Amino acid sequence: MTNTPDIIWTPAASTEDGARNARELFTRIFGGEAEGVWRAPGRVNIIGEHVDYNGGPCLPIALPHAAYVAVRPRPDRRVRLVSPQTVDAVDELDLDTVGPVGSAGAVKGWAAYLIGVAWALEQAGYGPLAGFDIALWSCVPLGAGLSSSAALECSTAVALDDLAGLGLAGSVDAPNKEGRGILVAASRRAENEIAGANTGGLDQSASMHCTRGHALVLDSRDMSVRQTPFDIAASGCELLVIDTRAPHQLVDGQYGQRRADCEAAATLLGVDLLVDVEDYEAAMATLAGEGAESGEAEEAERARLQARTRHVLSEIARTKAFIEILESAPLLSEEKLQVLGGLMNDSHDSLRDDYEVTVPELDVAVDVARARGAYGARMTGGGFGGSVIALVKIGQGEEIAQAVTAAFADHGFAQPHVFVATPADGAGRVE
């Protein structure tokens, strides 16, 4: 046994602190005052993983962890960007030369997520926009599966919307749902085409549409959303988030391969998206190639597509069941909590065995949380590192965090970071 280190808690900065940090950075680097500060949260997806690009349902909540941007428009088309990590080399770009990945105007690094939103808004007809100076401060952990990238895009989107007077976002208290859908699309295009990460729309929808105290029911088939109350504290529960800090490896390539597998399976099944499969057993038989002659390589390929499809279709069913139970009564009985936990457990096992996107750190954190009495635990986000969520009794989170910290030390893993998640506000203006 190694000596167990203390738990590292990483709670969110308060809105006031986050806004002040962005504002102070702005003034220090650019001089004068920013015109305003906007924030957009990271998220955890409670269930419905790797189904957004298959047209299925997801159930995210916004985190209190958010990106804050202090912004001032410019009289020209220049964009200057700074974050606490880049104060020595402020990025300078021009809205007239920005272009997609692979083009002459390709943007390197984190600036792509921000300026990409301006580019996408202009592509959608909301231009020309003024240039701007922007200072970013964020407490969403980077690359932890908690959507730090969408927080960057969505904070920039609501800022540009406000400064250009487009009126797409509305306010946090009176959101313009349709307008926010347009900002989601622009943020997603920024991520896909300018940053070059081919992700589905879950992250941006969560950051833009989530509301305090609620989970978001997102139908990825048509990107429609609705709010559902998420007050697990009333039922004696809390949601522990464990950022495993496992190094991301081959993330983009693996993610792309999963998407390609799903597309290949959908083609074999004659559907547009896997969500459209109506007969599960028949689909499995088709993918298994029953009755068809095939070589070893082809059989392995079919087995893989079958496993990927099994994950997607079973995850869609689990997510629907989870939402139904969540909405069945304001207070969740012990029995219902156990069913919800079981669905989370099955989700993780499916992501581990059929979708093959977990890593040892994720599996160990999940195993320890379950062994210590969590109702359920699963990885959240794209996988290959990132975070685990555990549904636990109030107060039990600390004991589980300690046990996971100890287990990670024993395994020689990096020390995990932990916090308890409560559903926070979506993107909007702070001051």
Q: Where does this chain bind ligand ADP (CB under 6 A)?
A: 83, 85, 109-110, 113, 136, 138, 142-149, 152, 197, 381
End-to-end CA distance of the chain: 50
Neighbours of 425 (CB within 10 A): 21
Closest CA to 63 of 147, 184, 177: 147
CA dist., res. 188 & res. 136, Å (int): 19
What is d(CA 184, CA 157) in angstroms, rounded to the nearest whole number?
A: 8
Q: CB 141 → ligand ADP: shortest distance, Å?
A: 7
User: 45 contacts which partner out of Mg ion, ligand ADP, none, CB within 5 to 8 A by kind?
Assistant: none
Q: Please report how close the Cβ of residue 93 comes to ligand ADP at its closest, in angstroms.
A: 15
User: Catalytic site residues?
Assistant: 203
Closest approach, Cβ 46 to ligand ADP, in A, equals 16
For 78-107, the DSSP string reads EEEEE-GGGTTS-EEEETTT---TTSTT--
The binder of 198, among Mg ion, ligand ADP, none, by C-beta within 5 to 8 A per type, is: none
From the list Mg ion, ligand ADP, none, pick the one residue 142 interacts with, judged by a Cβ distance below 5 to 8 Å according to partner type.
ligand ADP
For ligand ADP, give the closer residue by CB, 57 or 145: 145
Site for Mg ion (CB under 5 A): how many residues?
A: 1
Q: Which tokens is 4 given?
A: 């167990």
| Structure-block tokens of residue 343 | 């669905």
Partner from ligand ADP, Mg ion, none binding residue 110, C-beta < 5-8 Å depending on class:
ligand ADP
Is residue 313 within 8 A of residue 282, CB to CB? The reply is no
Backbone angles phi, psi at 423, to 5 degrees: -70, 120
Nearer to Mg ion, 164 or 197 (CB): 197
277 binding partner (options ligand ADP, Mg ion, none; Cβ < 5 to 8 Å by kind)? none
User: From CA 102, how far away is CA 111, in angstroms rounded?
Assistant: 16
Residues 98-157 that bind Mg ion (CB under 5 A): 149
State which residue, 250 or 329, has the beta carbon closest to ligand ADP. Answer: 250
Sign, CA dihedral 300-305-307-308, equals positive
- The nearer residue to ligand ADP, 101 or 321, going by C-beta atoms, is 101
- Per DSSP, the three-state class of 343 is helix
Asked if residues 59 and 217 have their Cβ atoms less than 8 Å apart, the reply is yes
Residue 47 or 197 with smaller CB distance to ligand ADP: 197
CB of 145 to Mg ion, least distance (A): 8
| Least distance between ligand ADP and beta carbon 65 (Å) | 10
What is the C-alpha to C-alpha distance for residues 315 and 348, in angstroms, rounded to an integer? 10
CA dist 368 and 404 (Å) reads: 6
Which positions touch Mg ion (CB under 5 A)? 149
